[in-house]
Structure 1
């Protein structure tokens, strides 16, 4: 199978290049001078378009199995495809959670027949409760392991408990204490993998809720009960643990200036720490709460305009290396329970890339930086590079095609989620994702799938990625 993407402006590691891309049997074979005669089975016209390495969403909660009234893996990956994503990394906290090797293999087998895009799997870190499983999951290809540092889990299902008061204490598995977390850092360091954490210190959260003095009723109450210092405190502890152990530590869904400043300083001191943020923190502020209500409730919460500005600065100076959706749907009825009782999370997988493309088109980041945070930086972090995240011979033929001059809008009635309720409904978009190529086949055009689904499981190989990155940069492999 030969596919030619012609007349596009290709976003490469060294900059923008006008070139044709020849894909053969699912891999990129060659970048050609524009207009070079070549035989192909299919041609994708990309004149006036930017051609990116296929976008990756590293932070997806498909709720499948266990909570499929909220979302399914088939719906979430279809939404990913239609939103310009070619690979998703599925979080481990469905029910049962991916906290051991047997469940890892079972989840892969369940998802492979139903995926619209390529996918990888996270593992769940529970501290002492599954210490023996961490290395096994990495050996099986886990992209990372996730620690819900500020959450309780249900003792039997390992599902998230959004509000402690909803469950009797005997049903709760509290997050590990810091001494146990330090041991977890050591265990992950020994594998060469990545430990990521939801960074909100539960003791700070408990004190803040008590100081509030009444149940959460308003958005201001929610911010008071979950202050930015809770995020920064956990990041600071994690950074020191990373320095002490050599463990690669990743902060997911960073939401605050305090958090970004803490990561930046830790990196300057040599800590092996990286960070992610999400579109909700880049496009919304507390001022939107009156308009959106509990639909915009996420953890950590969306904060003020100053926090948003700091996160954009962190994207552009490299403090943030990856942007994910934190796609975590609930039903509309659940979200309408109010700021106190509504679960945190929302629909985002299909709007991740369009919102970042809009930001690029409006000058908030360059095409190269967009490629880094939605593709190459994410692929390097999670052990998928250079198979993913780059347009060069030998890489997977995954491409996302963008018309920077077109205009569109987010529309809930066009989303493919099981519960298509987005906080961005009606948001105008400058720049439109017009197509994507997955495994050397045109798989999406104008926001709808083309042909049958053919996504595959992708196995992370952190050692290979580190070796390839060392060869690229001349750095020594640790």
Structure 2
């Protein structure tokens, strides 16, 4: 199979190239002079369009299995593909969670049956309870392991319990103490892998909720109950653990200027701390709450304009090395509840690419930097480069063709998601994907799937040379 992408503007590590692209048997085989005559089975005219490496979404909760009434891997990867994502990295906290190599292998086999995109898998870290499984999960190809630092789990299902007051104590597995967490850092460091965490200090949250003095009723209450210092505190502790052990530590869904300052301080001191942020923190603020409503509830919460501006600075100066959707669906009915009982999380993998491209076209970043944080640097960080994340000969031919002139309004009723409740419902977007190529085959045209389901598992390789890795 030979695919010729003609007349496009290729977003590459060497800059934007006015060149053609030849893909052969799923691999990028050549970057060609514009107008080159080649034999091909299919030709796509990308005149006037940008051609990005296929986007990688490293932060997806598909709820499958165990909570598949909320979402499943079929719907999440279908939506991701339509939005220009060619690889998703699936989080480990489905039911049962991916806390052992046995569950890891079973989850891989299950998702291979329903994947529209290529995919990698995270493992779940529980402290001493599964520290013996960290190495085997990395050996099996895990992209990273995640610690829900400070959160209890349900004893039977191992599902997250955000509000422990809602459960009987005998039903809870309490979060590992910091002594165990330090040993976890050491174990991940010994394996050369990545440890990531949800960073909000549980004690700061508890005291802030108590100081509020009443149930959360308004968006201002939510911000008061979950202050930015909770995020910065956990990041600062993690930095000391990373310094002590040499572990590569990654902050997922960074949400605040204060948290970013903690990351900056660690990096200035040569400590292996890196960060991801998400479209919700880059495009929404507390001022949008009257328009978006309670569906905007995510943890950590969307904050103020100063936080959004600081996060964009972090993206553009390289402090933030990756972007992820944190696609975390709940039912339409659950997201319609008030603040106190509504679960945190939002639908996001289908709008991940379009929302970020809209921000790019509005001047928040450049095509080159966007390609780095949604593809190249993400692939390097998670051990997928150079197979994924870049337009260069020898890499997988994963591409997204972007039309700068496209205009689209996000509408819940048009989303692929099983529970279509988007924080961006009604938002008008500028520019967006018009074609997605997965391993050399056009699989989406103008928002519609046109190819076969062909997603497959991608093993992470954390032995990559230092020059081909974005370090924490």
The bucket for the TM-score relative to the shorter chain is: over 0.9
1:459 and 1:468 mapped to 2: Cα distance?
A: 19
Task: State the Cα distance separating 1:157 from its structure 2 match.
Answer: 1.5
- Counterpart residue number, 2:397: 397
Deviating more after overlay: 173-182 vs 227-236: 173-182
Instruction: Indicate conservation of the 8 Å contact 2:397/2:439, yes or no.
Output: yes
Deviation beyond 3 Å, 4+ runs, structure 1: none
CA distance in 2, matches of 1:199, 1:41: 49
SS at 1:199 equivalent: coil
Task: Note the alpha carbon deviations across 1:126-175, whole angstroms, 9 max, x for none.
Answer: 01000000000000000000000132111222111122122111111122
**Could you say what secondary structure the match of 2:7 adopts?**
strand
Report 1:320-469 matches (<5 A). 320-464=320-464, 466-467=465-466, 469=468
The whole-number CA distance in structure 2 between the counterparts of 1:218 and 1:408 is 31
DSSP 3-state at the match of 1:234 = helix
CA distance in 1, matches of 2:220, 2:168: 28
CA distance in 1, matches of 2:42, 2:150: 50
Is 1:12 aligned to 2:2, yes or no?
Answer: no
Query: Which whole-Å CA distance do the structure 1 matches of 2:296 and 2:150 have between them?
Result: 20
Q: Give how far 1:468 is off.
A: 5.3
> 2:183 maps to what in 1?
183
Aligned to 1:143: 143
Distance 1:26 1:167 in 2: 50
8 Å CA contact 1:8, 1:51 repeated in 2:
yes
C-alpha contact 1:293 1:339 (8 A) present in aligned 2? no
Q: Is the 8 A contact 2:441 2:451 kept in 1?
A: no
- Mind listing any 5+ residue stretches in structure 2 that lack a counterpart? none
Per the normalisation by structure 2, the TM-score is 0.98
Q: Secondary structure of the residue that 1:189 maps to in structure 2?
A: helix
Structure 1 residue 123 and structure 2 residue 123: aligned?
Answer: yes
Shift of 1:404: 1.5
Match of 2:199 in 1: 199
Structure 1 counterpart of 2:58: 58
Contact 2:325–2:348 (8 Å) recurs in 1 = yes
Whole-angstrom distance in 1 between the partners of 2:289 and 2:104: 38
**In structure 2, what is the Cα distance between the partners aligned to 1:165 and 1:147?**
21
Aligned partners of 1:302, 1:406: CA distance in 2, in Å?
28
TM-superposed CA distance for 1:222, in Å, is 1.2
Maintained 8 Å contact 1:153/1:161:
yes
Q: How high is the TM-score relative to the length of structure 1?
A: 0.97
The within-5 A match list for 1:44-83 is 44-83=44-83
After TM superposition, give the deviation of residue 230 of structure 1 in Å: 0.2
Q: CA RMSD in A?
A: 1.3
1:294, CA displacement in angstroms?
1.6
Q: Please name the residue that 1:167 is paired with.
A: 167
Contact 2:89 2:119 in 1 (8 A): yes
CA distance in 1, matches of 2:238, 2:453: 40
Which position in structure 2 is the counterpart of 1:99? Answer: 99
Instruction: State the partner residue of 1:223.
Output: 223
Deviation string 1:284-334 (CA, Å, 9 cap, x unpaired) is: 111222232220100001111111111111111111011100000001111
